[in-house]
A and B are shown apart, each in its own frame.
Chain A
Amino acid sequence: MEPVLIKKQDIEQDSDKTDEIASSCDSSYSSNSTMSELVKSHNKLRRQGSRSSVLANAIQQRRQSKQDHGSTWIQHKKHFFILSSAGKPIWTRYGDESRISSLMGVIQAIISFFQDGDDTIKSIHAGNHTFVFLLKDPLYFVAVSRTGESDGQLRDQLLYLHNQILSVLTSVQLTRIFEQRVNFDLRRLLGGTEVFLDSLATLFNNDHSFMLSALQCLRLSRSIRDQAGAILSDGRVKDLLYAMVVAKGRLVTLLRPRKHSLHPSDLHLLFNMLTGSTTFHTAESWTPLCLPKFNSQGFLHAYICYIERDISIVMISTSKDSFFELSEWKTTMVEAMKKKNVLENVLKASDELYTTEDVGVPALLHFMYKAKSHVQFTSPAFSGPYENDSDRKRLYRLYQHVYDRMHARTRVLKLYYHHSEHEIMLGWITSSFELYVVFGPATPKAVLIASSNQLLRWIKKNEDSLFILNSPVF
C-alpha cells in the first residue's frame, strides 16, 4: 500500500475524484471533500484563533458570536485574498471564503475596469491602509495591510503565495484548469494545502528570509557540518535531486547537483511546508510538489521525515517511485549520524541558538547580516530588550522599514542611520554583504562604528560555523 499523508484525524481517502485533471495529486493529500464544510471551516477558525492579530477581547467576542465577519474582521492588520479572474474566492487569510464573495466580486470588477482601459491596477492607499494587487492570470492576489509595509514588500509576499499555489498545482495545470472551466472552484483542488498558505502568511511577519531572499542556517561547527554532509553524499539514491537536513527551520546541510543550486524561494516554500503542518511530524511522508523556480511546469516528489524532535530530513526526487529506496537510505543515514554523534550535536546547536551576548561586541543589541555570495544570512536569537513580543514586533518592522528604504528601486543606498526613542539602527550595504545593526538610543556614533567593525570581524572569524560555505555536490 502506498504510504500516504496521515492526518491526525483519520479520514478516509476519497478516491472518487471525477476530475481527471486532479488525478496526478490524488495519492498524497487526504481530500477534504469528505469532511463536512462545517468541520473544515471550524478547523480553519481554530487555527486562525492562535494567529490572530486582533486583541484578546476581540477574540473572545468572536468566539461568542459565530459570526466572524463583524467588526473584528476588519481590524486585522493584514489580509490576504486569492480569487480567480472570474471573481470566485479561493482563499482568504481570515474568515471564510464563502462569506466574502461579494467583496471578491467588487475586487474583480475594479481590476477588470482598469484592464478594459488597457491599464493594470497596482495599489491603493487609504489612510494607514495599503491595498496591493498582483495579477497572475488566471489568479488575482490582493493584500490589505496596515502594518506599514511598503507596496513592494507586500507584492513580494503575494508572489510567494502564488508560488505556494504553483507548488501544489504547477503552472501548466493551473492555466489548463481555468481554460477549460472559467468558473472552476479551485478550492477543491487545493484540498488541504490552505494550511500552507496560512502558515506562509504568518511567516511573513516572523521570518526575514523572505525579505532578504536568503536562507538562515543553523550555526554549527564546521567539522560537524562537514560530517553531516559526508553522510548525505554517501549512498546517494538514484534520481535524487536534492537532500537536506533541517533543524528548527534552519538549514544544516544541503546536497545538490553541481549544475542546479536551489533557489531560496523554493527552499522557503519547503521550509514552510515543514513548519506549516504538524502532520509531517507523525510519519514519513511522500508528496508530489512543484518547485516553481526550478521548474514551474512539472512535479517532483518530496520525502519528508522527522528523525528527531525538530530535525528533519528532506529529499527531493525526480521519480515518483523511489519512496522505499529513500526510506531505506534515511535509516542508514540516521544510524550513521547517531554513530558519529552528529545528531546529538545538531540537536544541541538547535536548542542553544547563539545570542548577542555570545558575540561580545559592546553596546550591540541585535543584528542581521546577509552574505551576498552565499545567499545566506545570520541573526542571533532574541535576548535582553527584545524578549517581549511587542518590542520584537517593533524591531521586525524596523528591519523591514530600513531594508525597504535602502532598496527602493530608484536609488540604492549604502548607509542608512535610523534613530528613534527605542533604538538606533544602522544599515550598511556593500557589494559583498548587507548588515543591519541595532544599538541603544543613546549610543554615540563613534561607538556605533567601532562596534559594527568589531562585529564584522567576529562574523568573518566565525564564518565557517555561521554559514554553509561548501555544501556537498555530486
Chain B
Amino acid sequence: MTTQSLHEESQSANKDDGLHAPMLGKTSPMLSYFCVYNPSLGPTEENTKDQILYYTAKRVVPADVKMKQVGLAQALVKFTSAFSPSKPTQNVHTQKNRMIFLQPEPGFWMYMCVELGILRRQIRDAKGKEKLVTEYLDTQLSDRALESVLKIGYEQFKLLHGTFSYILYQDDEDISGLPSRQRTRSLMHCIEEFFSEWIWKWDFDRLDTMVFSAVFNGVPVQPILRTNYLKVHELDRALHERFNQSIDHVLVFDSDEGGLLYRSPSLNIRDVCALRKYVFKRIEKSIAREKEISGLKFFTKSISQSHFLGFFTSSLSTKTTAPVTSAPVSAVGSQTSLPDLLDTAEAAPEIEADANPDTMDINPKNVDMNGDERTVTRIEMAQVYLSSRSALDTSPDKPHNSTYGHSKDDEDEILTEYYLVIYKHKANIVWSFLLPSFSQEAEDLLADQKFYSMLEKYMVEEQNLNGITEAIVSNVRSAQEKR
C-alpha cells in the first residue's frame, strides 16, 4: 500500500516534532503565530528587532525566523500599498495557512497566522491503489471572522489599557523620536499580559458561534416598558446629582440573557459594546471563583442573608451592613461569552477572613498610566478607558462624537480613564457605574469605605431600587414568555 500524497505531505505538512505518519481524519485549524509590531520602533538595520512588541507562536521559533516573518509582513503591506494605499493588506491566503493583518492605530500592526484545518483521507485511485489525499480546508475559515478576532482583541485591550500610542507616547507632541525604553517596556508588558492568554483561547473551529458578539459586534438590547426605563433614567440622574457628578455613567444589564437594559445617554455605544463583554467576563469569573472558594458555605450563608446587593469588591471592614453576595445565579448564556480572559495582575491576595467571606474578589488594575504601582488600596475595581466624555470634563470641545459611535478613522482618539464598579443584584440585574478617575472627588469617594453602603442605601431607600428591579424583572419574564 503506497501512501502517495497529493501535496508533498512527507516533507512538512505535519509540523510535529515527531516524524510519525500523519493521522487520518480531520485536524482543526490552529494558531501558528501572532505578533504585534511597529516598524517605526526599529527603523535602522541594527535595531530591527525592536520593532516587535509582542510575539507568540505554537512552537519555539528562533529570533531570526521571527524577524523574517515580520519582514514578510512589512513587504506584503508595502506591496499592496503600491496599489491600494488607503487600505493595505488585510489577509493572505496560502495553500496551508491564513494570515490576517490589522492596523488598529497608525503604525501599529497586529498580525496573525493560522494553520488551516486538514482533512486526510485514503481513497482508491483508478488503478485500485490506495492513496492518501490531503485537503486543506481553506473555505472553512472565514476572513471576516478571523479579522474580528483581532478587532475584539484590540477593543478589549484598549478598554483596559488605553491605546498603544498613548502608552508609548503619552501626551508628547513630538513623536518623531523613539520613545523611552521604559515606556516601550511597559507597553510590551501590557500587551503580553493581555494577549498571551487571550489569543490562545480561541477555537478556530467554532468561529461561527461568535458571529453576533464579535463579527457584528453589537449589543443585544432587552426591551423594557418605557415607564420602567424612565424610572431607571431618573435613578441615573439622581445618582449623578447626589454624588456631585462623580458617577458619570450608568449601565444596566440583564445577566440572564446578556441584554442591555439601560445606558446613560452620555455613554458612547461603542464603549457599551466593549464594556459589556468585559462586565460579563468578570461576572463569569467571579461566579467560578466563588463556587470554588465557598462551596457549601456559600449556599448556606447566602440563603440566610437579608441583604441583597452584591459587590465585586473585597471588603476590609467588619461592618455588618456590608452587603453580601446574591443568591446563586444562573450561568450567563454561552452566546454572550467570549473565550475566558484570565484577569491579569492578580495582585490582590485572597479575601482575608472577614465578616463577609462571601464577597468576591475582583482583580485590581492598580497600574496607572505612568506604570507606577498605585499606593495599595484595598478597594479594587477595574480601570477602563472609554471614549465617552465625562460631564466633569471641561477641556475644550473637540468635534462631537455622536452617541452612535464614531467612524473607525478617528484620529487622535482621546480616551478618558474611568473606574468601573460592578454590582450584581440578586435578580440578575447588573449595575455598572463609571466614575472618572481624573476627578479628585471621585477618587475620594472610592477610597471611602462608606461610599458603597451609601450608594446602596441611597438606591434602595431613596430611589426605590427594589421596586424598579421587580418591575424590570417581571417585564423581562413576560417578554420571554411571549417568545
Contacts and interface: CB of A to CB of B under 8 A. Distances in A.
Contacts of B474: none
A124 B96 contact: no
B84 A126 contact: yes
Contact of B79 (A107, A122, A125, A127): A107
A118 B79 contact: no
A interface, size bucket: 20 to 34
B437 to A, nearest CB: 38
Interface in B52-100: 68, 72, 75-76, 78-80, 82-84, 86-97
B205 to A, nearest CB: 16
A119 B80 CA distance: 20
A74 interface: yes
A125 B90 contact: yes
A314 to B, nearest CB: 36
B91 A129 contact: no
B12 interface: yes
A129 B75 CA distance: 16
Contact of B89 (A103, A124, A128): A124
Interface in A401-448: 408-410
B83 A125 contact: no
Contacts of B72: 110, 113
Contacts of A198: none
B80 A124 contact: yes
Given A120-B95, A144-B83, A127 B11 contact: no
Contact of B84 (A107, A119, A129, A408): A129
B94 A131 contact: no
A124 B82 contact: no
Interface in A123-147: 123-129, 131, 144, 146
Nearest to A74: B83
B111 to A, nearest CB: 13
A106 B93 CA distance: 18
Interface in A79-126: 79, 103, 106-107, 109-110, 113-114, 118-126
A126 B87 contact: yes
Contacts of B84: 126-129, 146
Main secondary structure of the interface of A (DSSP, over half): mixed
Contacts of B86: 127
A282 B189 CA distance: 75
Contacts of A128: 84, 87
B11 A106 contact: no
A409 B139 contact: yes
B150 to A, nearest CB: 15
B82 A103 contact: yes
Contacts of B75: 106, 109-110, 113
A107 B90 CA distance: 17
B143 interface: yes
A151 B82 CA distance: 20
Given A74-B83, A103-B82, A144-B83, A124 B95 contact: no
Contacts of A410: 139
B8 interface: yes
B287 to A, nearest CB: 40
A110 B79 CA distance: 9
Given A113-B72, A119-B97, A129-B84, A124 B12 contact: no
A109 B68 CA distance: 12
A126 B94 contact: no
Interface in B95-151: 95-97, 139, 143
B336 to A, nearest CB: 30
A128 B83 CA distance: 10
A79 B79 CA distance: 14
Given A107-B79, A110-B76, A113-B72, A121 B92 contact: yes
B80 A129 contact: yes
A345 B456 CA distance: 95
Contacts of B79: 103, 106-107, 110, 124, 131
A146 B12 CA distance: 35
Nearest to B96: A119
A113 B74 CA distance: 13
A123 B82 contact: no
B87 A151 contact: no
B460 to A, nearest CB: 54
A103 B87 CA distance: 19
B93 A123 contact: yes
B83 A124 contact: no
B82 A74 contact: yes
Nearest to A106: B79
Which 3 A-B pairs give the minimum distances between C-beta atoms? A127-B87, A126-B80, A120-B95
27 contacts: A74-B82, A103-B79, A106-B79, A110-B72, A110-B75, A113-B72, A114-B94, A118-B96, A121-B92, A122-B95, A123-B93, A124-B79, A124-B89, A125-B89, A125-B91, A125-B92, A125-B143, A126-B88, A126-B90, A127-B86, A127-B88, A127-B90, A128-B84, A128-B87, A131-B79, A131-B80, A151-B93
Interface of A: 74, 79, 103, 106-107, 109-110, 113-114, 118-129, 131, 144, 146, 151, 408-410
Given A118-B11, A119-B96, A126-B87, 6 more contacts: A103-B82, A125-B92, A128-B84, A129-B84, A131-B80, A410-B139
Interface of B: 8, 11-12, 68, 72, 75-76, 78-80, 82-84, 86-97, 139, 143
